[in-house]
Amino acid sequence: MQKKHVIVLIILVVYSATMLLLLLNKNEKVHSLNQRLQDNEVEYLEKIEQANSETSSLKSENIKLQEENLELINKAKDLITIDGASIEGLKYNGISDFNIISEDLLSHPELIPYEGILGGTMAFTEIFVLK
C-alpha cells in the first residue's frame, strides 16, 4: 500500500510542479502584456496631447482668419462702386447691365490664380464693380 501512496505522491508533486511552472509562465506573459499596454497607453496619451495642442492652435488661427475676413469684407464694402458715368460708359460699349460682369465672373472660377486649401475650392462670392 505504501508503494501506491508514494507513486500517487510523486504524481501529485510532478503535477503540482508542472502546474506551478505553467502558472509562472502565464504570469510572465501577463506581466509582459501589461507592460506593453502601459507603454502603448503613454504613447497614445502623448499623441492625444499633441493632437489637442494642434487643434487649439488651429482654432486660434481660424479665429484670426475669421476676424481678418470680416475686416476685408468691411473694407470691400467701403470701396466706391461704379458710378453713373461708368455705367453709361459700359452701356456705350455694349454692356447694358453691369451685373453681367458679376454673373460672368461667377461662371468662371478658373480665372482665380490660386488653388483652394484644405479641400476647399476658390470661388467668387461678393463682386463689386469698381470705377
Each residue's pLDDT tens digit, 71-114: 988 887 766 666 777 778 878 888 777 778 788 888 888 888 88
Same domain, 63 and 126: no
Same domain, 4 and 62: yes
The structure's pTM equals: 0.41
Total domains, the chain: 2
DSSP letter string over 88-114? HHHHHTT-S-THHHHHHHHT-GGG--S
Same domain, 59 and 104: no
Same domain, 67 and 102: no
Are 104 and 56 contacting, i.e. CB atoms less than 8 angstroms apart?
no
Are 90 and 112 contacting, i.e. CB atoms less than 8 angstroms apart?
no
Q: What is the pLDDT of residues 4-50, one digit of tens each?
A: 888 888 898 899 999 999 998 898 999 999 999 998 998 999 999 99
| Domain final position from 77, 93, 120 | 77
Range(s) of the domain holding residue 114: 79-131
C-alpha cell at 81: 462702386
Same domain, 45 and 62: yes
| Domain final position from 77, 98, 117 | 77
Q: Which of 126, 131, 52 is nearest to 90 (CA)?
A: 131
